[in-house]
Amino acid sequence: MPNPLPLVIVDAANVVGSVPDGWWRDRRGAAERLRDSLVSYASDGLPGTPGPVELVLVVEGRARDVASVPGVRVEAAPGSGDDLIAELAAGAAASRPCVVVTADRELRGRVEAHGARCAGPRTVRPGV
């Protein structure tokens, strides 16, 4: 049986919020733009995590109805996005490499406790 792909989980609210570009006026649109910019990472991977990877974008609030696209599965958090991210990381980290993209310190601590590695928003938004 082949090894499962590494899992990359992107904290949409945190990554979108890392750049003050007016995202608050259109949270759904900002999440969709982020989703679309992530597609190439599914095949190419991230620094330290070569592709292909399974890429999951966790959305919450007004961005909850953003749809998945080929290469990026979108998971809508029924409540806290951080709780869903921690749950996904806990389920994956024991059986395959898991990277969570966020700058949220509390969330980083939670997912690292399950064995996930963390990367900052610039990993998927270079030049910002």
Report the percent of the chain where pLDDT is more than 90.
80
Q: What is the model's pLDDT at position 5?
A: 94
Tally of CB atoms within 10 A around 120: 14
Considering all CA atoms of the chain, what is the largest pairwise distance in Å, rounded to the nearest integer?
Answer: 46
Q: What is the model's pLDDT at position 93?
A: 77
pLDDT value at 126 more than 80:
no
What mean pLDDT comes out for the span 14-26? 89
The whole-model pTM stands at 0.94
What residue ranges in 29-82 does DSSP mark as E strands?
Answer: 45-46, 49-50, 54-59, 73-76
